[in-house]
Amino acid sequence: MPGFELFGETERNEVNDVLKSGVLMRYGFDGMRNGHWKAKDLEMELQNQFEVKYAQLVSSGTAAVSMSLAIAGVGAGNEVIMPCFTFVASFEAIMMLGAIPILVDIDDTLTLDIEEVKKAITPKTKAIMPVHMCGSMANLQALKTICDDHNLVLVEDACQAIGGTYQGKALGSYGDVGSFSFDFVKTITCGEGGAIITNNDKYAQFADHYSDHGHDHVGNDRGAETHPFLGYNFRISELNAAVGLAQVRRLNDFIAIQKKHYTILRDALSDIPEVVFRTVPEGGEENYSFLNFFLPNLEVTQVVSKAFKEEGIDGCFHYYNNNWHYIKEWNHLKNLKTLYPVSEEMKKGLEYLKTKSFEKSDYYIGRNLSCLIKLSWTEAEVKERADKMVNVIKTVLNS
């Protein structure tokens, strides 16, 4: 991770193919494009690789998450349960629809704490949205049971975990609908882009229309298409799709490289008794894009994090005070700082964040280091990195 590290001729060839046709838009201009449809081809690749009936490309991972919720009927007055450790796009996507994000604690999976999810359910709850952070998944079987018991929608945010699996199914395909991000730092990149996958016929049709201003895409005259319902412009371009098409065909190779590098690092750190690795739910296999581990306490983790940087060990993140990924510094959300007025319902719905504490999550995030696994490393570089990481951690623990 990320896929741009291994850009090559395959990506350039797909992009040049689009430029030769001169058609950068995914819809229309049939005569000019001579049968070349990069977005459609990429959607077919996603369907085949992840063994789902439908895939719909969109302009970003955020668009994918928001559209996943919209096609499932989530909107004003609804509550969506989500983790307090994620990227800010998760709550942005919920609020874009006028719904209320209900943030709950995480556990040692670094994803939703199942008992906290149960406590958060109210008559307004419409969906549960696990976020498969840093390459690994939530306990999807437990969440599916909760959703079935309460008639809720299970929406998977798999933006950081493409290529991971749970009980033999691709992440994103276990729930009712799943979403991916293909931004510049993801395992598969389009530069900017995203996708949703689903086996639900109705959701698939809604996604096809909703992502393109509500166009029904019936017939060969785009100007004559009808609009069964309102939609928005979440279209991906053919240029972005071309890059993603080349990349997704290499996904299995990327995952294999990540697993190799991850395993070298994990095996080295396993010799340190104080290092505890994140829990991967039974039946799950992460995509190996990050190595996540816990140290004894916040203070030790802070010292190790600083020492890693001083030793040139880059790409290891301590999210405790991170502005993008953890509730602790999301003051713009907690104080509802917006450029436009929001409904009284939303103001009231988010009041809980002014007083709610997240001690469970502080315990795990405070002790966690999340280390990026690069595709471009040589084996010698990985082993050298492993030795440095072990030496730094042992030095701090023994000081």
Which residues are known catalytic residues? 186
Average pLDDT over residues 360-367: 98
pLDDT for the residue 34? 85
Average pLDDT over residues 298-321: 98
| Degrees, nearest 5: CA angle 276-252-111 | 35
Average pLDDT over residues 319-348: 96
Percentage of the chain exceeding pLDDT 90: 98
> Given this chain, do its domains 3-250 and 252-398 carry the same CATH topology?
no
Average pLDDT over residues 182-203: 97
CATH architecture of 3-250: 3-Layer(aba) Sandwich (3.40)
Whole-number average pLDDT of the chain: 97
Q: What is the pLDDT of residues 241-293, one digit of tens each?
A: 999 999 999 999 999 999 999 999 999 999 999 999 999 999 999 999 999 99
pLDDT for the residue 220? 87
Amino acid in position 288? Y
Residue 381: how many CB atoms within 10 A of its CB?
12
Reference 180, options 168, 192, 26, 82; nearest CA is 192
Average pLDDT over residues 153-177: 98
Average pLDDT over residues 190-198: 97
215 pLDDT exceeds 90? yes
Q: How far apart are CA 264 and CA 308, in angstroms?
A: 18
362 pLDDT exceeds 90? yes
Q: Which residues contact 323 (CB under 8 A, 6 or more apart)?
A: 329, 330
Q: How far apart are CA 69 and CA 154, in angstroms?
A: 9
pLDDT for the residue 310? 97
- So where are the chain's domains? 3-250, 252-398
- Burial of 196-232, coded b for 16+ CB within 10 Å and e otherwise, reads bbbebeebbbbbbbbbbebbeeeeeeeeebeeeeebb
CATH H superfamily, domain 252-398: Aspartate Aminotransferase, domain 1 (3.90.1150.10)
- The rounded radius of gyration (Å) of the Cα atoms in the chain is 21
pLDDT band of residue 1 (cuts 50, 70, 90) is: confident
pLDDT for the residue 53? 98
pLDDT for the residue 175? 98
Average pLDDT over residues 183-202: 97
Q: Which residue has the higher pLDDT, 314 or 34?
A: 314
Q: Which DSSP string do the residues of 107-176 spell out, in sequence order?
A: -TTSSB-HHHHHHH--TTEEEE--B-GGG----HHHHHHHHHHHT-EEEEE-TT-TT-EETTEETTSSSS
